[in-house]
Structure 1
Amino acid sequence: MHLAPNNTLQSTDCEPKADTKLASKLNALNMFPITQTSIFMNKDIHIVRSSHEMAESSTVCFALTEEAPYHFTYGAGSGLWLMMPLNIANAKVRFNDLEENFTIAPNDVFINSNQAPIDFHLENSITAFHVFIKSSLVEEAIGKFYQSGKYKILFPANIARSNSTISMLVQSLRNTLKNSAQKSELLMEYIARALVVEFLRKFSEEALEPAFDGVNDALNPSQLKRVVEYIDANLTSSIRTNDLAAIAGVSRTNFIKRFNSSMHCTPARYIFLTRIKRARKLLKQSDLSISFIAVACGFSDVAHLSTSFRRETGVTPSVFRKERHAEED
């Protein structure tokens, strides 16, 4: 300490304390930057501005983008992805062997809560605003607002429709990019929570169903064995949920519920993880080309495999193979 010319005390130590530095590093590791999201990997999406330039959050991030027409496969995600185009967006989305065409009006919101990879084909240039909310925030809201121990909450895969409250909340997040007075993590978290609650209230309320008790809660061992064997034998082709339900001998809706109870994931998620598991095995134990492995595991091409593999494991197939070989040397 020393006296400044105005007789006020000033510190001569400008370096933060060690524990402060450590806390800053830990906080940085917990942040959720736009670089961890699917759109950052798409070369046809230009990020104009993002929450990375503001006070970052650990559960939500967002970005204003300019996008050229593209065809891109987004890997299985978690949480919610909301996209609000600022001009008309024409898109074709393929997921779980289903294909849907969307025309999204300006300021309407496309929501994806799917746990399996989706092929997204944007057919025209747009300016858009994207919001990503981590699954931990969704689970927190479910625990507070619903009797999650007694109910199974089933989310729709993709939604594209007008909803004034969700659109208003997304617009509020977008405004934080323009209004410096609103640059705070607290506001971002508040709006993100409001978005999750509104999503649950609007789009999952009718899907809240009592959890089964007793034997009907899960597939029996014989049913599960037939389904798993069919999936293993048909990874190179398209696997439809309807076919799996027929193999189990139950309705599609009943099958999805009971499979989820047996395997703790959706059929689509299980198929995806099985494909990734086979790809890991082939990359580690064979010298087959990555293009051959992509087809052998049911991916449409190398790009589809690479994107999905990286999102699930954190590395590309080629890097994974090199690392495994290096461990053996």
Structure 2
Amino acid sequence: MGRTDQHSTLDPNGNNGAGRQLAVIGATGEYSRAETSLHVHPDVTVVKSSEGFGWSDLYAAVTDERPHLAIRRAIPDIWFASTLTGIELRRTVGEEQHHAVLSSDLVTITPAGMAVRDEIAVPVNAVHVFLRGDLMQEVADDLFARHRSDRAIIPAFAIEDRALYFLLHAIRVSLDDPPRSNLLKAEFLSRAMAAHVLQIHSTDGVVRNRVPDRLGSNQFRAVVDYIEANLSSEISVNELAAITGLSREQFFRRFRASLGMTPYRYVMMVRIEQAKAYLADPKLEIVSIALMCGFSNQSHFGAVFRRFTGKSPAGYRRSIA
């Protein structure tokens, strides 16, 4: 088992190995199976998937597969696969071939722009996760904030990566969670997976100093007003980008240049500041404050509040009483 010598590069113009420009967020909704390279036919059954959950940055599916041959088309996103039962797999990428009988604790990474031919010799249950290329670019910008670094994602055939394995299976478990909580978990897990892959399974490209454009004053005001008016609801980068008329990648860079933080962190910061104001009213229950500030439950609210303030909501309320 080993890695191939091909790479998929995240480049500064938003293009990847599949030759498609990163999606314009205003037109991006739920990540559907039709956008992936998941091969579904009579020998492959999707047991459960994220279809219908509203996940925009990743698609996940658990499959029940009989022996078959699958031609996986090149896509502009990254595909991760791990089995629940072990597998005998023969993979062909260009002129390179891999063949192994694999245990259930290994992960295969197929970067954007890579077409593969897979021959599965025994029945298998598997988990498949696809991460959007533009999410990878956002996280790359966040990880390498001071300089722009092109990142080449390294393909991997049946590697042992315990952190990545557990992230994949955490996403699988999320498929059984209630819709509101699994939407939140999917956002966290997709970014955690992207960060891990960029740090462990990518190579440095050419580093360029850059001074990104900032949001215009009207754009910035519109975004801030929208966030403040919708704190109790889910707020996505897609929505915020659409307000400004920018692509998701453009918006993310300009927002970070304007405020020195990501849109996600800013939304959390505004929610915590609003929560502080509510906590000053002893008649409001903490669980009600959590929901009014857009948190899925009191536990999540408490964890984020402690991360930002160093205190629990109840502890903060006592400190200002």
TM-score of the pair, normalised by structure 2: 0.52
1:114–1:157 Cα contact (<8 Å) kept: no
1:90–1:123 Cα contact (<8 Å) kept: yes
Partner of 2:67: 69
Partner of 2:277: none
1:42–1:72 Cα contact (<8 Å) kept: no
Deviation string, structure 1 residues 248-288 (Cα, Å, up to 9, x no partner):
xxxxxxxxxxxxxxxxxxxxxxxxxxxxxxxxxxxxxxxxx
- Return the offset for 1:182: 6.9
- Return the offset for 1:189: 1.3
For 1:32-111, what aligned pairs fall within 5 Å after superposition?
32-53=31-52, 55-111=53-109
Amino acid at match of 1:31: E
- When residues 181 and 101 of structure 1 are mapped into structure 2, their CA distance, relative to the original with a 3 A threshold, is same
Equivalent pairs, count? 185
- When residues 140 and 45 of structure 1 are mapped into structure 2, their CA distance, relative to the original with a 3 A threshold, is same
1:104–1:110 Cα contact (<8 Å) kept: no
Partner of 1:208: 204
Partner of 1:295: none
For 1:291-306, what aligned pairs fall within 5 Å after superposition?
none
- When residues 100 and 148 of structure 1 are mapped into structure 2, their CA distance, relative to the original with a 3 A threshold, is farther
The SS at the match of 2:108 is: strand
Where does the alignment leave 5 or more consecutive residues of structure 1 unmatched? 1-25, 213-329
Where does the alignment leave 5 or more consecutive residues of structure 2 unmatched? 1-24, 209-321
Match of 1:162 among 153, 160, 173: 160
For 1:161-200, what aligned pairs fall within 5 Å after superposition?
161-180=159-178, 183-200=181-198
Q: Identify which of structures 1 and 2 has the higher relative contact order when contacts are C-alpha pairs closer than 8 Å and 6+ apart.
A: 2
1:93–1:101 Cα contact (<8 Å) kept: yes
Deviation string, structure 1 residues 173-224 (Cα, Å, up to 9, x no partner):
11112333874312111101101111111111xx214459xxxxxxxxxxxx
- Return the offset for 1:140: 0.8
Amino acid at match of 1:184: N
- When residues 142 and 159 of structure 1 are mapped into structure 2, their CA distance, relative to the original with a 3 A threshold, is farther
Amino acid at match of 1:190: F
Amino acid at match of 2:150: K
The higher radius of gyration belongs to 1
- When residues 51 and 99 of structure 1 are mapped into structure 2, their CA distance, relative to the original with a 3 A threshold, is same
Compute the RMSD of aligned alpha carbons. 2.7
TM-score of the pair, normalised by structure 1: 0.51
Partner of 2:297: none
2:150, 2:176 → 1: CA distance? 39
1:182, 1:47 → 2: CA distance? 22
The structure in which a higher percent of residues are helix is 1
For 1:134-149, what aligned pairs fall within 5 Å after superposition?
134-146=132-144
